[in-house]
A and B are shown apart, each in its own frame.
Chain A
Amino acid sequence: MTHVGRMALETTPHGLPWRCTAMNRAAVFVCALSLAGCSGVQSALDPAGGDALRIYWLTLIMTLGGTLIFLLVTGLLLYAIFAPPERRAWLGRRRTIVVGGLAFPIVVLSGLLPYGLIVMRDTDVPMPGALQVAVTGEQYWWRVKYPEEGARPEFSTANELIIPVGQPVTVTVTAADVIHSFWIPNLGGKIDMIPGRINRLSFTAERPGIYRGVCAEFCGDQHARMAFDVVALEPAAFDAWRAAQAKPAREPDLPSLVRGRDLFRAAGCGSCHVVRGTEADGAFGPDLTHVGSRRTIGAGQFPNNVGTLAGWIANTQHIKPGVRMPSYGSFTGEELRSLAAYLESLK
């Protein structure tokens, strides 16, 4: 969509604003349609698992069915208005009204109701052998906890869900503040995250890949910037990732990283953030033990690197006004670079 957005700002070789004629508007529309196409990391029209596929077919059947019925009714309406009286008389007969106005809707809705309910039910089936993940929605980020599983210890991460391909995943969701909604369009349906209540959603990713989840319930100013990454890995890669995540944070091994760690301590970042293996044990914000291994920061807003980390620390309230973390604009450039480099080193 950014390409389309830029088009509107383009200027002609003469420096004049790009004029939006009807043809240009049509071109932009077609372009937008193609760019917002059916495939992608956040598309319910590109199912990557059986659960999403069931919802996809339900959507398809209801959309196509609804469209056909709309066209039929509109056609009959136009026929009733414009056809000669003797030819349209059958439209007013009792038989037409009973069949078209009563029997047809009853039959269609009697079929759709159980079909929709069965699809709904199948998103909440406890799956044997499912990977358990607990996700809490908070303004405006996602707390993700992988509970202890046999010999595998519990650990937490944030704003990303790493899952194994082919294994069912059961996500239990709740919220810490207001109602959020958990939705990974490529993998399954939406489930509300309600404070004080635990809901459950099961799905299976059937092809490896990177997907994007979003908050689907307006939750405040930055609702639109509350996303998360979903990475479906082959089982062996997932096991390796899980083992790495369970380890404490790595010790800094370069002077600049040591400096960053010291700044992290001195600034009191550990009051809100956990870095396992250090004295930082704050539970208010995201766990940063392996923050450097995440794909994005700011709940799916920026690619994760030293530059974006530094920008985030210095400007949270400019980037996402209303987030709980204040902007730390008092750091010098050198301090920000060290601090961001330290965080980026926490792989």
Chain B
Amino acid sequence: MSGRRTGQVLLMLAGLIAWAVQFTIIYAVTSTLCGREWADATIIGVGSVHAVVLLTTIAALGVAALSLLQSRRVHGRLGETAAAPDRFISQAGMLISGLSLVVILWQGIPAFILPACA
């Protein structure tokens, strides 16, 4: 795969990669904080678990949003004569980034409804 195509595919999957990283960090950090009884610690007045989930979720949402905007920009620049794979990848990128925004939010919501170490 050429460097250009690699970049296109990475952009297409950026939202999903952000979700996977957010998922891993939330689970690892929450398990560690709760397991070692550090969950009561605070960061800038916010509980450590909530702070980690919040920061990770905001960062992941940012990556997914940037990927959505960039995919739209790329798709807008493609003319009618563009190659079918290019059009498909940019459209899939928009769809995947949009869905990633939703699932990243879903992944973060439980921390703010359930007790930190439920």
Contact = CB atoms under 8 A, between A and B. Distances in A.
Contacts of B118: 120-121, 124
Given A121-B118, A124-B118, A114 B102 contact: no
A237 interface: no
A117 B106 contact: no
Nearest to B115: A124
Contacts of A106: 102
A113 interface: yes
10 contacts: A109-B106, A113-B106, A113-B109, A113-B110, A114-B109, A117-B109, A117-B113, A117-B114, A118-B113, A121-B118
Using C-beta atoms within 8 Å of the partner chain, give the interface range for chain B: under 10
Nearest to B111: A117
Contact of B115 (A102, A110, A113, A121): A121
Interface string B75-118: 00000000000000000000000010010001001100111001
A121 B110 CA distance: 10
Nearest to B113: A117
Nearest to B105: A110
Nearest to B110: A117
A125 B109 CA distance: 19
Given A113-B106, A113-B110, A114-B113, 15 more contacts: A102-B99, A109-B106, A113-B109, A114-B109, A117-B109, A117-B110, A117-B113, A118-B113, A120-B114, A120-B118, A121-B113, A121-B115, A121-B118, A124-B115, A124-B118
Contacts of B109: 113-114, 117
Interface residues of A, number: 11
Contacts of A117: 109-110, 113-114
B49 to A, nearest CB: 15
Nearest to A199: B118
Closest 7 CB pairs of A and B: A117-B113, A121-B114, A106-B102, A117-B110, A121-B113, A113-B106, A117-B114
A120 B99 CA distance: 26
A31 B72 CA distance: 60
A121 B109 CA distance: 13
A142 to B, nearest CB: 24
Contacts of A114: 109, 113
Interface string A106-132: 100110011001101100100000000
A102 B114 CA distance: 27
A72 B102 CA distance: 24
A110 to B, nearest CB: 7
A118 B112 CA distance: 10
A105 to B, nearest CB: 10
A118 B115 CA distance: 11
Nearest to A118: B113
Contacts of A118: 113
A120 B114 CA distance: 8
Contacts of B115: 121, 124
Contacts of A120: 114, 118
Nearest to A117: B113
A106 B101 CA distance: 11
Contacts of B99: 102
A115 to B, nearest CB: 10
A117 B115 CA distance: 10
B106 A110 contact: yes
A117 B118 CA distance: 11
Contacts of B110: 113, 117
B94 to A, nearest CB: 12
Interface in A79-124: 102, 106, 109-110, 113-114, 117-118, 120-121, 124
